[in-house]
Amino acid sequence: MRIRQPIVSVLGHVDHGKTTFLDRIRGTGVVDREAGRITQHIGATEVPMDGLRRVCGPLMEGKEFSIPGLLFIDTPGHESFTTLRARGGSLADLAILVVDVMEGIKPQTLESINILKQYKTPFIIGLNKLDRINGWKVNEDQPFILNLQEQDELLKDELDNRIYSLMGELSKHGFNADRYDRVSDFSKTIAMVPMSAVSGMGIPDALLLLVGLAQKFLEEQLETEDDPAEGTILEVKDEKGLGTTLDSIIYSGFIMKDDTIVVGTKGEPAVLRVKSLLKPRPLDEIRDPREKFDNLHEVHAAAGVKILAKGADDVIAGAPLRVVRDDVTLEMAIEDVLSLTQVSIETDPEGIFIKADAIGSLEAMNHLLGQNDVRILKAETGDVSERDIKEVASLEDPLRKVILGFNVKLLPNVDELAKESGVHVILNNVIYKIIEDYEEWYRKLKHDMEEERRSEYAHPAKFLVLKDHIFRVSKPAVVGVRVLVGRIRPSQSVMREDGRVIGKIVSMQAEKRTLKEAKMGEEVAMAISGPMVGRHFNEDDILYVDIPEMRVPDLMKAELSVEEREVLDHIVEIKRREKPTWGMG
C-alpha cells in the first residue's frame, strides 16, 4: 500500500490570480534537471516532495511527510472543478481558493465555497495580490511568515483590517476563517494565506499548508494499491495526427498500454483498448512540434495522462474511466460507469431545461439552482441543439421556454430557430451569472405577462373629473379627467363613491389622438355613456373603475402597486356595504 500525491484544484473569481498562481508554481524549477524537478502532466502539474522542500525552504526544515508531493490540476476555475468528479464526490482531494485581498469576496468566490462545501473538499484561501497594498515590501518566493516581520506596524494593521473585513463577510455566510498562523483547529476554521502570486511571496506557506492538511486529514484517502486504474476524463480533444484523445486524471491504481478501459458516453459506456499513453515532453526537449509527446508503458496514480484509443469520439468530459483486466470485472465496470454517468438530479414536470459540459457541472448547477428555488425538468450534457429548442418550444408556459447552458455553446443554426420559436437561451461559464440572468429574464417576462393580463380586465383605478372641463353633459357625457391611480381602458364601467355604477367608458382622447389606455398622472377627455353631468356626477367628483366581482380573486394575487392595492381594498369595502361576501370567490 503506498500513499499517492493529493490532487489539488485552484479556484476563484475571475482575475483574482488563479492562473498566475499556477504559472508561478509551474515556473519554479522547471528548467533544472535535478531530483524534485516539477513536471508537466496532461492537464496537471506535479510538484514532488523534494521540489516542495526546495520551494518551502525553512518552513519544512525538520518536518517529515509521508505524501510524495502535490498534483495541481491545471484547468483553473470552479467550472472545471465541477467537471472533475471521482467516486463519491470531487476528483480534487484539496483546493486553494484564490481571493484578491483588495477586492474581497465576490459572488463567484461564494459560489466556489458552496461547491467546495457541497463536495466536502478541504480548502484554504490564498489571499492574493498583497503586493498591491501600498508600501508592502515584497521579496520573491519568501514565506509570508518571514515577510511579515519586515513590514512596519501601519502596514500590518492595514492587512489585519482587510483580513477582519473578509472574516466578517465570510461569517455572514456561515463560514469561520482567519489568518493561517492564528488557526488552532483547521477542521473548523478556513485558513487564509496572504501571498503575492506574481512574486511567489507566500506561496511556500500555501504549499506547506496543503501538505499539512493532506497529511493530517487525508492520509487514509490517499492510500492506493497497484490495482486496475480508476480515473476521470478531463477533456476529449482532437489532436492533429493522432485523432480523438482523452485527457485524463488517474486517481487510483495504474493503467498500461493495451489495457481495456470502460469510459462514460452520453449513452451506453464505451469499451476501448488503450493504443498509447502519452505525456507532454518538457518544452526544452521538443525538437519537432509533431513529436511533442512521450510514449509511456504505464502510468500510476496520481497522474495526468493523454490516452489514445480507437472509438473514443462519443466519450464526454467528466466521465469516469475504469481499467478492466478480466472478463469478470468488465460487466461490473460497465455497470459502475453507467451509474456514475447518469445524472442524479431530481426533476420536476414544472421545471426548466438545463445543459452543461459535464455531469459534475450539471450536478453543481442543480445544487445552486435549487438554492434559488429553480426547479429542473430535464438536465443533459452537450451543446444546445435544434432538438432541445423544439422540445422546449412545445411547452405551454412561456415562463418555462428557456434553456440554461453552463460551459456549452449553441450548435449551428440553433440561434435563429430559438428566436423563431420564442425560446430564450442563457449561456455562461459562471453559474451565478446564469442564475442572475435567468432571474432577470423571468422577472421581466412575468411582469410583461402580468401587464398584458391586467390589460384584458378591469383594473383598480380612480380618476378625478376636472373643474371647467365639461365638454358635453350627456349621450355620451364628455368630460376632462385626471387618472389618480391605476390605468383605465375603454369599455370599463364607471362607479361612484356610493357604489352605484353610472355608465361605461366609450372612448378617450388626448391631443386629438384616440387612446387605448390612460395611465396614472395622465389627463384625457373621456366619453361616458349613460350618466348626465349634474344629475349622476359633478365636477371635482372622484370616480372609480367598476371591478367585476369574479375578477377580485385574480386581482388579489396580481402584482399591484401600493396605490392600486389601496384602491382595490377601497372598492371591495364600498361593495361590501351592500353585500358583505362580495369578492370572496
- Helix (H/G/I), strand (E/B), else coil: 488: strand
Q: Cis omega before residue 364 (within 30°)?
A: no
Alpha-carbon distance 181 to 201, whole Å?
16
Q: Radius of gyration (Cα) for the chain, nearest Å?
A: 33
Give the residue ranges of DSSP H helices in 410-561: 414-421, 431-456, 552-557
Alpha-carbon distance 282 to 260, whole Å?
28
| Residue 78 designated active-site | yes
- Select from 253, 214, 217 the least CA-distant residue to 70: 214
Alpha-carbon distance 203 to 149, whole Å?
16
Residue type, 483: V
- Select from 582, 564, 559 the least CA-distant residue to 572: 582
Cell numbers placing 386: 435544434
The dihedrals phi and psi of 23, each to the nearest 5 degrees, come to -60, -40
Give 574's contacts (C-beta < 8 A, 6+ positions apart).
Answer: 495, 497, 498, 499, 544
Rounded-to-10 torsion of CA 293, 233, 362, 213 = -90
- Bridge partners, 480 (sequence order): 525
- Select from 136, 278, 248 the least CA-distant residue to 201: 136
Alpha-carbon distance 318 to 308, whole Å?
17
Which of 78, 424, 459, 536 is labelled catalytic?
78
Instruction: Give the total residue count for the chain.
Output: 585
Q: What is the enclosing helix (H) or strand (E) of 493? A: strand 493-495
Contact, 350 vs 376, CB < 8 A?
Answer: no
Q: What is the enclosing helix (H) or strand (E) of 519? A: strand 518-519
- Bridge partners, 274 (sequence order): 309
Contact, 353 vs 403, CB < 8 A?
Answer: yes
Contact, 6 vs 94, CB < 8 A?
Answer: yes
Catalytic residue IDs = 78
